[in-house]
């Protein structure tokens, strides 16, 4: 740590900047959520004309109530998470934890790994009430939760063990690079991060996902034939078609592609198959194939890796800046490495500043969704996909009347009215 880099002006400036950006983010969240809730509430009594006769008034009102309740929960969650963040940083929580472990663990690497492990354990415990309330109060209230306390806790335990088994060796490698690989350690770390993510995409379908859900081959003869013919027309090869027992946790329906290379597979939620007709399932799949046709997955991976490169480079610079630590309420170690402290602080503050990039990422995602919709319509006709989407909007209690500005900031998928209008043009 270069003491010459320390300047009290940087401390004051960075602390003030952090507080201002954090408060600004909270204000924007409250403002946008307020707009969304008012916009939805004012339109809850009448189904939009474009959906009259298709979506019932009861379903429309349920979607409005669910949307408002989710926004209220998100606001309280953001305040709670901000309080935890302030506790870890400016109020000295992380510094206290670091000092406590320094007194008890002599070996530098074990001390740093312990700091990472204990921090994530405590932080996870602090966030448990949010997860419990969302599952057993919010989702339960609207009939979506199918999970039990035992299943929910089991998922947490398995996720924690998996994170430790995979994450701690990776963290140890990063910590070693930060101390031993010179000024360009961040470039080596980024390269390892890229390889790790690609490897994770390969092994996830076969080794990780089955730890949480059961997967069985698609047995529906008509549907399987439709899907195989569609994939042949689209020039797409997958390892198999699988049905996942999503219904044991939630009534929400979904379908997705997973894997990379030869491990690619198509996964349908059992809730989706129970709700949609074979031609509608085919249309949903065609939409997903559209993402591959336009190389959206590859483009998003490239974008993610580019952003992560910039993030690693920024971390590489901040690692040696004393004001980065002190400005966030942490006194850096003088006789021990600060790699773990730097990693934790960077992970804590990055979402604060990154929040304001949300509209750009959302806009790109919506553009991709429009393109995938158009592709699906060309492959399956102009009726099946709109019908499927309307059923999913109804079943998932997605509002048909979102606030336009809220959509531009948050929505990764276009609202129903815009999607249906674009599909009609593409037909």
- Cα torsion 366, 369, 370, 375 to 10°: value is 170
**Cβ(119)–Cβ(97) under 8 Å?**
yes
Is residue 282 among the annotated active site residues? no
- Which of 288, 369, 371, 394 is labelled catalytic? 288
- Among residues 219, 225, 302, 218, the alpha carbon closest in space to that of 255 is found at 218
**Span 260-288, pLDDT tens digits:** 777 777 888 988 888 888 899 999 989 98
Is residue 403 among the annotated active site residues? no
Residue 410 phi/psi, 5-degree rounding, is -110, -35
pLDDT score of 138: 96
Rounded to 10°, the helix 149-180/108-133 angle is 150
**Span 326-348, pLDDT tens digits:** 999 999 988 889 999 999 999 99
**Cβ(91)–Cβ(328) under 8 Å?**
no
d(CA 278, CA 12): 61
d(CA 292, CA 98): 46
- Among residues 407, 365, 414, 394, the alpha carbon closest in space to that of 280 is found at 394
d(CA 299, CA 291): 10
Report pTM. Answer: 0.90
> What is the three-state SS of the chain?
CCHHHCCHHHHHHHHHHHHHHHHHHHHHHHHHHHHHHHHHHHCCCCCCHHHCCCCCHHHHHHHHHHHHHHHHHHHHHHHHHHHHHHHHCCCCHHHHHHHHHHHHCCCHHHHHHHHHHHHHHHHHHHHHHHHHHHHHHHHHHCCCECCCHHHHHHHHHHHHHHHHHHHHHHHHHHHHHHHHCCCCHHHHHHHHHHHHHHHHHHHHHHHHHHHCCCEEECCCHHHHHHHHHHHHHHCCCCCCEEEECHHHCECCCCEEEECCHHHCEEEEEHHHHHHCCHHHHHHHHHHHHHHHHCCHHHHHHHHHHHHHHHHHHHHHHHCCCHHHHHCCCCCCCCCCCCHHHHHHHHHHHHHHHHHHHHHHHHHHHHHHHHHHHHHHHHHHCCCHHHHHHHHHHHHCCCCCCCCHHHHHHHCCCCCHHHHHHHHHHHC
d(CA 7, CA 230): 63
Residue 215 phi/psi, 5-degree rounding, is -120, 130
Phi-psi region of 135 (alpha: psi -120 to 50; beta: other; left: phi over 0): alpha
- For 84, the token pair is 């935890």
pLDDT in tens, the chain (427 residues): 444 444 445 557 899 999 999 999 999 999 999 999 999 999 999 999 888 888 999 999 999 999 999 999 999 999 999 999 999 999 999 999 999 999 999 899 999 999 999 999 999 999 999 999 999 999 999 999 999 999 999 999 999 999 999 999 999 999 999 999 989 999 999 999 999 999 998 888 888 888 898 988 887 677 888 888 888 888 877 667 789 998 899 888 888 877 777 777 788 898 888 888 889 999 998 998 898 889 888 899 999 999 999 999 999 999 999 999 999 999 998 888 999 999 999 999 999 999 999 999 999 999 999 999 999 999 888 788 999 999 988 888 899 999 999 999 999 999 999 998 888 876 6
- Which of 373, 394, 395, 403 is labelled catalytic? 373
**Cβ(138)–Cβ(204) under 8 Å?**
no
What's the distance, Cα to Cα, between the start and end of the chain in Å? 62
**Cβ(283)–Cβ(427) under 8 Å?**
no
């Amino acid at each position: 740590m270069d003491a010459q880099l320390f300047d009290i002006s940087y401390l004051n400036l960075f602390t003030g900047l952090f507080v201002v950006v954090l408060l600004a983010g909270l204000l924007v969240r409250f403002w946008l959520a307020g707009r969304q809730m008012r916009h939805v509430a004012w339109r809850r009594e009448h189904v939009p004309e474009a959906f009259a006769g298709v979506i019932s008034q009861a379903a429309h009102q349920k979607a409005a109530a669910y949307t408002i309740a989710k926004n209220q929960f998100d606001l309280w969650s953001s305040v709670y998470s901000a309080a935890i963040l302030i506790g870890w940083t400016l109020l000295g929580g992380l510094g206290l934890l670091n000092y406590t472990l320094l007194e008890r663990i002599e070996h530098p690497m074990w001390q740093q790994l312990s700091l990472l492990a204990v921090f994530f354990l405590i932080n996870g415990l602090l966030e448990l009430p949010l997860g419990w309330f969302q599952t057993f109060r919010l989702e339960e209230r609207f009939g979506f939760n199918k999970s039990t306390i035992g299943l929910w806790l089991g998922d947490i335990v398995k996720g924690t063990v998996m994170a430790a088994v995979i994450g701690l060796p990776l963290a140890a490698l990063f910590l070693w690079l930060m101390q031993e690989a010179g000024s360009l350690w961040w470039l080596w770390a980024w390269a390892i991060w890229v390889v790790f993510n690609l490897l994770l995409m390969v092994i996830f379908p076969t080794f990780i996902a089955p730890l949480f859900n059961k997967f069985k081959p698609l047995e529906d003869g008509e549907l399987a034939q439709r899907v195989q013919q569609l994939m042949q027309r689209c020039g797409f090869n997958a390892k198999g078609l699988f049905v996942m027992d999503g219904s044991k946790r939630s009534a929400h329906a979904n379908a997705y592609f997973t894997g990379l290379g030869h491990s690619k597979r198509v996964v349908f939620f059992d809730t989706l198959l129970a709700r949609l007709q074979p031609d509608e399932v085919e249309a949903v799949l065609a939409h997903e194939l559209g993402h591959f046709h336009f190389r959206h997955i590859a483009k998003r991976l490239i974008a993610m890796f580019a952003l992560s490169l910039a993030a690693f480079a920024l971390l590489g610079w901040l690692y040696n800046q004393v004001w980065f630590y002190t400005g966030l309420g942490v006194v850096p170690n003088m006789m021990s490495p600060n790699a773990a402290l730097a990693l934790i602080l960077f992970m804590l503050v990055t979402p604060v500043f990154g929040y304001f990039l949300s509209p750009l990422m959302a806009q790109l995602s919506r553009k991709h969704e429009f393109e995938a919709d158009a592709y699906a319509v060309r492959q399956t006709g102009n009726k099946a996909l709109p019908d499927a989407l309307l059923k999913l909007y109804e079943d998932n209690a997605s509002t048909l009347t979102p606030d336009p500005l809220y959509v531009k900031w948050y929505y990764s998928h276009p609202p129903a009215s815009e999607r249906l209008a674009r599909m009609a043009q593409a037909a």
